[in-house]
Chains A and B, each alone.
Chain A
């Protein structure tokens, strides 16, 4: 079964740091671009970051650029999100999500999502 399992979310103080993990199973992890997407309480979805299959290319939303770092360990089938200088507006459920590809090799949306891990930033 294809599965993503996030962990690491907790209550942290403003200005603090946190590292989220996402353990992947049931598919060839190193073959897929991976993402972090977050959802603040009662709000919509916000893309956070994307990392290429080999980890060499990374992309970030403007709201987290310079504070968050995405990485992956393909030998351990795990995705990470290092979060620094946390703010109240970073409070959210953080999902990791796998990109999919169609038969032509084009991106085809995020087809597998974890259940999310909750980050709460409070002073």
Chain B
């Protein structure tokens, strides 16, 4: 099983600041099969990025992703009020599919 470890657990930032979230895999993951999701309280997850760096339909360009093999990064260039949420990475290249434990981006 590929274990995804996200850091930090919580990120306290102000609107307008840059957020950098990390996702580290226990084994190499093809970047083709790495996704990021955003989840707000009481809502289902929303797909943000797939293939490590491709934005899903309707996702603003302030969200960007990068990385390969076992290190991946999600960057939110300038936090908007609606961006404060929990973010999960997921690998879907190997069964079992696995998610990271999540990074909460909260208002400082």
Contact = CB atoms under 8 A, between A and B. Distances in A.
Contacts of B93: 107
A47 B98 contact: yes
Contacts, number: 75
Contact of B50 (A37, A100, A113): A100
A102 B96 contact: no
A109 B47 contact: yes
B74 to A, nearest CB: 13
B32 A100 contact: no
A47 B99 contact: yes
A44 B88 contact: yes
B32, B44, B54 — most chain A CB neighbours (10 Å): B44
B22 interface: no
A50 B95 CA distance: 10
Query: For this complex, into which size category does the number of interface residues on chain A fall?
Result: 20 to 34
Interface of B: 1, 32-33, 35, 37, 39, 43-47, 49-51, 54, 56-57, 88, 90, 92-93, 95-102
B32 A106 contact: yes
Nearest to A93: B44
A68 B46 CA distance: 25
Nearest to B57: A111
Contacts of B49: 109
A108 interface: yes
Q: Which 7 A-B pairs have the closest CB atoms?
A: A109-B35, A113-B44, A109-B50, A47-B97, A108-B50, A45-B99, A109-B47
B47 A111 contact: yes
A8 interface: no
A110 B99 CA distance: 12
Interface string A80-121: 000000000000000101001010001111110111100000
Interface string A26-67: 000000000101000000111100100000000101100000
